[in-house]
Amino acid sequence: MKNIEAIIKPFKLDELKDRLHQVGARGLTVSEVRGFGRTGGKKDVYRGSAYVVDFVPKIRIQMVVEDDMVQPIVEAIQVTARTGEIGDGKIFVSPVVDAIRIRTGERGHDAL
């Protein structure tokens, strides 16, 4: 099992959700987050005054999937979330040691 976490631009969420459903993702968790990367935020102008937005709004998507689903899901995220502009986001894939369904006590792959 693997944990896939992706940070994407907010306007890409609906399109990505539909694409993930098409490739067979069965569930995901979505969080509204704020942060910055290498650029350190973005500069903007409002009514002639320049200001810096230190924390840019983003969406964090998390899902735990079987090992054979990692590649199709990562590819779906890359293709769908890419705009070609700075701030498209990141994808992180990490191993999951165990998963437990709280309601039934099922563990491992059965808990997914």
The answer on pLDDT for 41 being more than 70 is: no
Q: Is residue 12 pLDDT above 70, yes or no?
A: yes
Give CA separation, 9 vs 15, 34, 91, in Å. Answer: 11, 10, 12
| pLDDT, tens digit (0-9, with 9 covering 90-100), for 48-86 | 777 777 788 999 999 999 999 999 999 999 999 999 998
- Could you give the strand order of the β-sheet that contains 56-65, starting from the edge strand earlier in sequence? 29-35, 56-65, 2-8, 90-95
Topology adopted by domain 2-111? Alpha-Beta Plaits (3.30.70)
The ranges assigned to domains in the chain are: 2-111
In 3-state terms, the chain is what percent helix, strand and coil (to 5)?
A: 30, 40, 35
DSSP state of 40: -
In the prediction, which pLDDT does 48 show? Answer: 76
Phi/psi of residue 68, each to 5°? -75, -10
User: If you average pLDDT over residues 21-41, what whole number do you get?
Assistant: 88
Radius of gyration of the chain (CA): 17
Token digits for 89?
Answer: 């986001």
Instruction: Report the SS3 class of residue 21.
Output: helix
Percent of the chain with pLDDT over 70: 96
Q: Is the pLDDT of residue 37 over 90?
A: no
Task: Enter the DSSP assignment of 100.
Answer: B
Q: How far is CA 106 from CA 1, 99, 111, in A?
A: 15, 8, 5
Average pLDDT of the residues of the chain: 91
